[in-house]
Amino acid sequence: MELTALDVVVLVASFVASAAVGLFFARRAGRSLAEYFTAGRSLPWWLSGTSMVATTFAADTPLAVTALVAEHGIAGNWVWWNMVAGGMLTVFFYARLWRRAGVKTDAELTELRYAGRSAAWLRGFRALYLALPINLIIIGWVNLAMVKVLEVTLGVDPFLAMLGLFFVTVVYASTSGLWGVVVTDFFQFLMAMTGCIVLAVYAVDAVGGLDALVAKTPAHALEFFPTDTAWMPVTALLSYLAVQWWASWYPGAEPGGGGYIAQRIFASRTERDGQLATLWFTVAHYAVRPWPWILTALAAALLYPGLADPGVGFVKAIGLLPSGLKGLLLAAFAAAYMSTLSTQLNWGAAYLVSDVAARFIAVPEDKLVRLSRLVTVGLFVLSGASTYALYRVGSVDGAWRVLIALGAGTGPVYLLRWYWWRVNAWSELSAMGFSLVSFLALTGLGVFDPSTSLGGAQLMLVNTAVTTVGWLTVTFLTKPEPDAHLRAFYERTRPGGPGWRAFALRCALPVEPAANGAASWTGWGAGIVAVYAALFGVGQVLLGPRAQGLGLLALSAAAFVVVVKVTPAK
């Protein structure tokens, strides 16, 4: 692919702008650990929420969606569309609790919720587990996607080109802390979305327009719900809709929130900002973003059939663009890459510094910010191994399914630890252990193949059952947390609900409904309707039948009015 001088100027300008933001916020980030990892808890909802969206829009995302569409049609996206219900659950039942907790990481919550050595072990183990193996796998597949983009577009050694992106990303991620990350995320998201919309327009035009796209694409590939079980097995679809969204842990879609989503929530300036940020993220992530990717994926399947890796079709479509716009698309991919990478580096460093170094090694406060910057750089260096391993495997969407299956069954613990007093530290430890052992046993013995839709769904269902039975058994065989510790947690976060009723009455505490009671359940249901109606409405306006699509958009607007009415004003 030939790049002109204009393309190069556009690309370089985006790098310079990203680095400039990091340098601008460097002094502020250096004030304290709270500034570096939680932006002084001062983020407005629109900035915090957009940062969540940008972080989950990595260079791998459009490639993985393109592969899903090529292999399973539009319905293949249910592997992640199903998580709308979990996202709305976080909006109405967990976002305010996270902000009240006042922690720097979700690992820190463990010692707020649980007591004693078991809680300390859980905090340390969870921090190391998420910061190293899980985080490095995520960074690895993000790097892999960018390697594929650079291989196809620049014709140079992709790893050398990626080193340039790494240098720019590390400059602002390590110097500016979370403030620099989220501000850069905002502009990078705008650039990435603009680029993907432009690419979709040119890709669809290359196959003759929307009507021609519909006429040339197999009918089953255009179905929002699969009608061909070979294309998308019913077992897989049902497992996505009925189980996965609450049972399986996945970065950016953790049951009850967690990871960098929780980080953005407790970095927000108020409880309301945290809730609105999560609401905006859920709407934008599922209803605003997908269709430029899907349209390009459908066009790429027609323009570049028979690719060994169907996801590369998205990158090949960049060659359809004129001078200047190619640079814009490469800048968009770079922006998506850097926004995700900067968050993963900051997020991982938060665990290693706040939950390990500060908690267990007792590093002095005045050394922590400097250590945070060094750890940020070190994490990327370590990610080289995972990038190479995934490069050998070559599958991004397959890695999604593996991580979903690996976290299966842990979701109920993360949901119930807020709303059931009987959950203890051993509940979480055993859930993580049962899930890991069950996953390794079932895949190691060849019972299920998690890289396929059916195998991944079956593995997720079995893993969920094994893990749930396991952690519930451990919970009832071990002692509950001390009353004094539970009382402090209850008074600080005020979760309410029937799961705390017996404890509250025993300790003479006020008994409250869970998260604003019936209003939150109404908002949860209305939010799910609003997002899915918008998602499918936009799709039908584009692909037909258009009248039905307009009706769905009207339904979405009405449901969103309900969401606004039941969302607390403060």
The pLDDT value recorded for residue 235 is: 78
The pLDDT value recorded for residue 236 is: 80
Work out the angle at residue 341's Cα, subtended by the Cα atoms of residues 110 and 137, and round it to the nearest 5 degrees: 65
Q: Which pLDDT tens digit goes with each residue over 220-244?
A: 899 998 766 656 677 788 888 899 8
Distance in angstroms (rounded) separating the CA atoms of residues 366 and 360: 16
268 has which bridge partners? Answer: 43
The pLDDT value recorded for residue 231 is: 60
Label each residue of 438-468 as H, E or C: HHHHHHHCCCCCCCCHHHHHHHHHHHHHHHH
Task: Work out the pLDDT band at 138, boundaries 50, 70, 90.
Answer: confident
Q: Which residue has the higher pLDDT, 212 or 63?
A: 212
475 and 527 both lie in a single domain: no
* Average pLDDT of the residues in 36-41: 87
Q: Which residue has the higher pLDDT, 82 or 138?
A: 82
The pLDDT value recorded for residue 253 is: 87
* pLDDT for 507 beyond 70: yes
Task: Work out the pLDDT band at 188, boundaries 50, 70, 90.
Answer: confident
Burial zone of 332 (CB within 10 Å; 0-12 exposed, 13-18 middle, 19+ buried): buried
43 has which bridge partners? Answer: 268
3-state secondary structure of 532: helix
Structure tokens at 168: 């720019």
Q: Which amino acid is at 535?
A: L
* pLDDT for 164 beyond 90: no
Q: Could you tell me if residue 508 is inside a domain?
A: no
Of 481, 503, 534, the position where a domain reaches its end is 481
148 and 54 both lie in a single domain: yes
77 and 179 both lie in a single domain: yes
Q: How far is CA 313 from the centre of its chain?
A: 24
Point out the least confidently predicted range of 112-126, 132-146, 185-199, 459-473: 132-146
* pLDDT for 398 beyond 70: no
DSSP 538-561: HHHHHHS-HHHHHHHHHHHHHHHH
Q: Which pLDDT tens digit goes with each residue over 47-93?
A: 999 999 999 888 788 988 999 899 889 998 998 999 999 999 999 99
What b/e sequence results for 26-62 when a residue is b if at least 16 CB atoms lie within 10 Å of its CB, and e otherwise?
Answer: bebbbebbebbbbbbbebebebbbbbbbbbbbbbbbb
The pLDDT value recorded for residue 524 is: 97
The pLDDT value recorded for residue 232 is: 67
Q: Could you tell me if residue 490 is inside a domain?
A: no
CATH number at residue 181: 1.20.1730.10
Q: Give the number of residues written for the chain.
A: 570
18 and 113 both lie in a single domain: yes
Q: Name the maximum alpha-carbon separation found in the chain.
A: 73
62 and 151 both lie in a single domain: yes
Q: Could you tell me if residue 497 is inside a domain?
A: no
**Cβ–Cβ < 8 Å for 175, 24:** no
Distance in angstroms (rounded) separating the CA atoms of residues 227 and 518: 36
Other C-beta atoms lying within 10 Å of the C-beta of residue 211: 11
pLDDT over 90 percentage in the chain: 52
Residue 565 lies in domain: 517-570
Structure tokens at 172: 């602002």
The pLDDT value recorded for residue 512 is: 82
Please count the structural domains in the chain.
2
* Average pLDDT of the residues in 299-306: 94
What's this model's pTM, rounded to 2 decimal places? 0.92
Q: Could you tell me if residue 323 is inside a domain?
A: yes
Q: Could you tell me if residue 156 is inside a domain?
A: yes
139 and 270 both lie in a single domain: yes
* pLDDT for 29 beyond 70: no
* pLDDT for 96 beyond 80: yes
The pLDDT value recorded for residue 367 is: 85
521 and 474 both lie in a single domain: no
The pLDDT value recorded for residue 176 is: 77
**Cβ–Cβ < 8 Å for 66, 74:** no
408 has which bridge partners? Answer: 248
**Cβ–Cβ < 8 Å for 131, 351:** yes
Structure tokens at 476: 């009832």
Mean pLDDT of the chain: 88
Q: Which residue has the higher pLDDT, 30 or 325?
A: 325
Q: Could you tell me if residue 487 is inside a domain?
A: no
Angle between helices 325-350 and 259-266 (to 10 degrees): 80
* pLDDT for 558 beyond 70: yes
Q: Which pLDDT tens digit goes with each residue over 431-481?
A: 999 998 998 898 888 888 877 778 888 888 999 999 999 999 999 999 999
The pLDDT value recorded for residue 390 is: 64
412 and 461 both lie in a single domain: yes
Q: Could you tell me if residue 491 is inside a domain?
A: no
Task: Work out the pLDDT band at 410, boundaries 50, 70, 90.
Answer: very high
* pLDDT for 44 beyond 90: yes
Distance in angstroms (rounded) separating the CA atoms of residues 16 and 251: 29
Q: Could you tell me if residue 560 is inside a domain?
A: yes
Query: Could you tell me which residues come within 8 angstroms of residue 21 by beta carbon, excluding any fewer than 6 positions away?
Result: 172, 176, 180, 183, 184, 187
* Average pLDDT of the residues in 266-283: 96
472 and 388 both lie in a single domain: yes
248 has which bridge partners? Answer: 408
Task: Work out the pLDDT band at 204, boundaries 50, 70, 90.
Answer: very high
187 and 233 both lie in a single domain: yes
* pLDDT for 202 beyond 70: yes
Instruction: Using CA atoms of 346, 349, 351, 355 in order, give the dihedral in degrees to the nearest 10.
Output: -130
**Cβ–Cβ < 8 Å for 117, 484:** no
Task: Work out the pLDDT band at 399, boundaries 50, 70, 90.
Answer: low
Of 481, 503, 537, the position where a domain reaches its end is 481
Cα distances (angstroms) measured from residue 82 to each of 55, 229, 236, 523, 551: 19, 18, 11, 18, 22
Task: Work out the pLDDT band at 31, boundaries 50, 70, 90.
Answer: low
The pLDDT value recorded for residue 499 is: 95
Handedness of CA 322, 328, 332, 338 (dihedral sign): positive
Q: Which pLDDT tens digit goes with each residue over 511-547?
A: 888 877 889 999 999 999 999 999 999 999 999 999 9
562 and 425 both lie in a single domain: no
454 and 538 both lie in a single domain: no
